[in-house]
Amino acid sequence: MKARPAKAPPIPAHPGVTVLEDEVVWDGRFPLQRVRFTYTRFDGSQSGELVWELWRRHAGVAVLPYDPVADAVALIEQFRLPALAAGLDPIMVECPAGLREPGETPEAVARRETLEETALRPDRFELICETMLMQGGCDETMHYYAARVRLPQPGEAGTHGLAAEHEETRVLVVPAEQAFAMLDDNRIRNVTAMVCLWWLRHHRARLRQEWA
């Protein structure tokens, strides 16, 4: 019998939840489980039987590099196949981001991904929030950080990414007000960058005092 993949552990026990069947139906880079279960409803009654597919991606980290002196952020552009499948422009404007390896702290991931995808070296971090991206079908949790950096001139940012992963990220150095305008005009179409920029809009004045 094939051993259960470590990336797809069984659903943990929880009061009111009865797991009737839990099987791994795809064991790729990100496993897919099919879970048959019931749960206790708000009125105390038992729900009907449900069958959900669960995509196991675990934990990720996203970073908004911010230069309080230049009052500008570093965003990235990269090709995203799922965006193309959704009928959107596949070149997405995003924040640097990546997945956590076992035993790796969120801040360590933030530092690593910022360096890999922008060549910037943050010297200070502030946690924005911890949240879920797709609670209807995926277990991925995200830590969002703001990172203090010294940004290059707009024409000097270049492209980066891990060659071994065929990754290419183009860095955009954007003044904060321009980034907020992109947010308001819906030119940024992913929730990670949206959350980080909304947070920066609220905390920007404080960061310019504390981080400058």
Going through the chain in order, the beta strands assigned E by DSSP cover 17-26, 32-39, 50-55, 59-67, 72-79, 91-94, 97-99, 124-132, 141-148, 159-160, 169-175
pLDDT the model gives residue 57: 94
Mean pLDDT of the chain: 93
Looking at per-residue pLDDT, the higher value among 61 and 152 belongs to 61
Mean pLDDT on 123-142: 96
pLDDT the model gives residue 157: 65
Answer for the pair 119, 158: CB distance below 8 angstroms, yes or no: yes
- Tell me, yes or no, if 107 is annotated catalytic: no
Looking at per-residue pLDDT, the higher value among 13 and 152 belongs to 13
pLDDT the model gives residue 86: 95
Interval 106-121: pLDDT, tens: 999 999 999 999 999 9
Interval 182-203: pLDDT, tens: 999 999 999 999 999 999 999 9
> What CA dihedral angle connects 37, 42, 45 and 50, to 10 degrees?
-20
Predicted TM-score (pTM) of this structure: 0.91
Catalytic residue among 107, 165, 177, 210: 165
